[in-house]
Amino acid sequence: MLKIGKLPIVILAVFIIIFPWIARLIPAIANYTDIMVFAGIYCLITIGLSLLMGYAGQISVGHAAFYGIGAYVSAILTARFGLNPWGCMFVGILVSAGIALLVGAPSLKLRGHYLAMATLAFGIIIYIVFNQETQWTGGPDGMAGIPGLSIFGFDLDSVEKYFYLVWGFVLAAFIFSVNVVQSGAGRALRAIHSSESAASAMGVNVSKFKVMVFVYSAVLASLAGSLYAHYMNFVNPATFDLFFSIKLLIMLALGGMYTLWGAVIGAGIFTFLSYEWLHYFKEFEVFVYGAILLVVVIFLPQGLAGVPGMIKGWLGRPKSNE
């Protein structure tokens, strides 16, 4: 596992601060700030998934559901009941955490890939609920009229302001996760990944840690969903289908799930691929995703985040032979 120092985090923060200014200066990438908002939203989810899958080794193929729960709780409570958006975001997080506990606790007590199966089924169920509960969710047509966000009367009414909000959350989640990973808790998660028997023999409460990290990843996905709803002012079920859960896995594989940087890089690059660079392929886009996944899994098992290490390995090897 790569140690994550303070300096790269500072560089990330500086990059976030200056990005909209750069985008504004260059007309060709003027719309990149908007894309970066989505990249940030996906980043929140992949950071949680990196902890769950890369570190603890538990597979979820249902995080689109938590993303959707966050979005719909925010949408319904604000658009239909006119409640405070921040409060609704918090309610969404609580609901997601509660559901994650219900889904995760029984399946995580078992060894093996039961969580993958449980989350797969769960994701499909939630997708059906979004489609069928028309009086609440608006059904397949979706629901509009979701208000934007404001902080203490200061409206986040421009793309740039929203960019800073989203990436502020990303930075916070990233730092929180780095702290977890570099503590005894992170060590326990990696130990669980490697050998559950040995971890429990050393006193690690395996099922508790697995449930904790699953709930944490659901909370981040829910937060991302709320941010999405308030940015788009509109939600419909298609955003939260099974394919989105798969896309999240592609992002993780692309960036590399064994480090938190991989989660950020993967979500960033994938967002630009799907929003900007792959339009040329139109309906064949799915094939391109498949090809990317294949190439990454075969040639870059550690994802893009593992590339520097690989290069170091190549450069180091001949020297050691001399």
Partner 1 sequence: MNDTGNENVLEVDGVVMAFGGLMALFKPNFKVKKGIIKAIVGPNGAGKTTLFNVITGFFHPTAGTVRFKGQPISGLKAHEIAHRGISRTFQTVELFGNMSVLENIMLGCHTRVRTSFVAAGFCLPGARRKEAQIQERAMKILKFIGLSEKCNDPAGSLPLGEQKILEIGRALASEPELVCLDEPAAGLNETETYVASSLIRAINAKGITVLLVEHNMKVVMNISDEIVVLNYGQKIAEGPPEEIRNNPKVIEAYLGGGV
Interaction site with partner 1 (CB under 8 A): 1, 176-177, 179-180, 182-188, 190-191, 193-195, 197-206, 209, 212-213, 216
When the beta carbons of 84 and 194 are compared against partner 1, the nearer one is: 194
When the beta carbons of 48 and 138 are compared against partner 1, the nearer one is: 48
When the beta carbons of 167 and 209 are compared against partner 1, the nearer one is: 209
Residue 258 is encoded by which pair of tokens? 């064994």
Instruction: Report how far residue 51's alpha carbon sits from residue 217's, in angstroms, rounded to the nearest whole number.
Output: 8
In the complex, the smallest distance separating the C-beta of residue 276 from partner 1, rounded to whole angstroms, is 33
In the complex, the smallest distance separating the C-beta of residue 51 from partner 1, rounded to whole angstroms, is 10
Q: For 84, what's the count of Cα atoms within 13 Å in the CB-facing half-sphere?
A: 7
SS3 label, residue 154: strand
Residue 55 is encoded by which pair of tokens? 């570190």
What are φ and ψ of residue 302, in 5° steps?
-95, 5
When the beta carbons of 153 and 203 are compared against partner 1, the nearer one is: 203
In the complex, the smallest distance separating the C-beta of residue 262 from partner 1, rounded to whole angstroms, is 15
In the complex, the smallest distance separating the C-beta of residue 246 from partner 1, rounded to whole angstroms, is 26
| Closest to 189 in 3D by CA, of 257, 288, 273 | 257
When the beta carbons of 97 and 126 are compared against partner 1, the nearer one is: 97
Count the Cβ atoms, other than its own, within 10 Å of residue 109. 12
In the complex, the smallest distance separating the C-beta of residue 119 from partner 1, rounded to whole angstroms, is 20
In the complex, the smallest distance separating the C-beta of residue 226 from partner 1, rounded to whole angstroms, is 20
Give residue 248's identity as a one-letter amino acid code: L
Give residue 39's identity as a one-letter amino acid code: A
Kindly give, in sequence order, each residue whose CB lies less than 8 Å from that of residue 310, ignoring residues fewer than 6 positions away. Answer: 300, 302
**Which run of H or E residues covers position 99?**
helix 85-108
When the beta carbons of 161 and 190 are compared against partner 1, the nearer one is: 190
